[in-house]
A = this chain, B = another copy of it.
Amino acid sequence: MNSVSVGILGFGTVGTGVVHLLTQEQEKLQQQSGSNIHIEKVLVRDIDKTRKINFADNRLTLDPDDILDNPKIDIVIEVMGGIEDAKNYIFKALKNRKHVITANKDLMAVHGTQLLETAADYQCDLYYEASVAGAIPILRTLTDGLSADRIQKIMGIVNGTTNYILSKMNRESVSYEEVLQEAQVLGFAEADPTSDVEGLDAARKMVILSHLAYSVPVTLEDVRVEGITEISQEDIHYSKKLGYTMKLVGISELDDPYIDIRVSPTLLSSNHPLAAVENEFNAVYVYGKSVGETMFYGPGAGELPTAIAVVSDLISVVKNMNLGVNGHHIFLPKNEKKCKSPDSMKNQYFFRMHVQDQPGAFSKITSLLNERRISLKQIIQEPIPKQQLAEVVIITHAIEERIFKQTYQQLKDLDVVYDVKNYYRVEG
């Protein structure tokens, strides 16, 4: 049996998982890949740091070129994160004809196309299954399993931190701030949670998914992003009351030839397959023209789940090496990108207002909505105790975004409206 040598860039959480699997599961990996897989070097920041697993010090290095320029190394695994260094290292590895596996969504969302083109030029593999939804093999599902279908919509719960926070806000009557603090203590949220709670992390993953689903060169600028920091316990309360679950959802739609991609808090109807995805779990819902509804569910992060995605990619690369077909499975965008004007998108909306509790108030609201041809699907009106106000919560039927936003402004100006609150997109 031949032998394949691997260099690993990074020895953090995912790196530790990868080293664990490559050292503990050798027999399984031989059986799957047809080769002995050997770790030649691991790039670290500090050789002397105490680590979770024992690994021979003489194979740790501080110098990336010990891996990138090392003629013994066939495959480079990038699990260090960050964009600039990772990008430069991967370009160098590819130019030295080393195959690359990366778990780096930030990098692939921003420089993916360029990196994939370079890999194809040098006939190298570049696999990145771990970059989206951890252990769920969703990239392979789009490129292989559903390759015959025309994907029309993807909805993803692809950020574990925000799903954890919203699940908890949904179960217990606690505020966003309280749950965030607790999640930080438990390690489900970063000290600086911006990228997660503002939706940027999810947006990066939606770029990668949309590229594969529609074969178009999507960039981060194409994604409209809204985070979860403004969601109140009242929003959650009334969502539940109307039969919906509040989730941070990435939605990517094709209205051929136009695409629309956004990440935003969304009310999912309780019978939507994504509505039951709880806590730190991820799931991707894929709607295909021929297959209809499918959903893929699993852990979106974590040392071993993410490492399984990386090492499954590694097995594919080694199999390709044994067959001499590396660099032939690169999926480059083949179609032109046309983004849909957001104004013309039709959505259902949920919105809340505080209204003067007086005769005829509600009728003033409905006549404005009627004038703008916004028809109503569900309504709640409840007095607010000890104030002369009522809570009005409305879910509309599908309406053009432009018209909804204009009307929402006009509602503010009605004399009977005391205050307008948040609005959210509704699905299902």
Contact residues of A with B, CB < 8 Å? 17, 21, 25, 28-29, 31-32, 129, 134-137, 140-141, 144-150, 215, 271, 273, 276, 278, 281, 288, 290-299, 302, 304-305, 307-309, 311-312, 314-316, 319, 323, 325, 328, 334
Contact = CB atoms under 8 A, between A and B. Distances in A.
A235 B384 CA distance: 45
B296 A297 contact: yes
Nearest to A34: B328
A22 to B, nearest CB: 9
Given A292-B299, A293-B298, A296-B296, A148 B31 contact: no
Contact of A140 (B29, B140, B297, B305): B140
A24 to B, nearest CB: 10
A327 to B, nearest CB: 11
A334 B148 contact: no
A21 B325 contact: no
- Closest 10 pairs (CB-CB, A-B): A137-B145, A294-B298, A148-B311, A290-B304, A135-B291, A295-B297, A148-B312, A291-B305, A323-B325, A147-B312
B299 A293 contact: yes
Contacts of A25: 148, 150
B295 A28 contact: no
A369 to B, nearest CB: 34
A268 B361 CA distance: 49
24 contacts: A28-B150, A134-B291, A135-B288, A137-B146, A140-B140, A140-B144, A144-B144, A144-B316, A145-B312, A146-B312, A148-B308, A148-B311, A148-B315, A149-B312, A281-B293, A290-B304, A290-B307, A291-B299, A291-B305, A292-B302, A294-B296, A294-B299, A323-B325, A325-B325
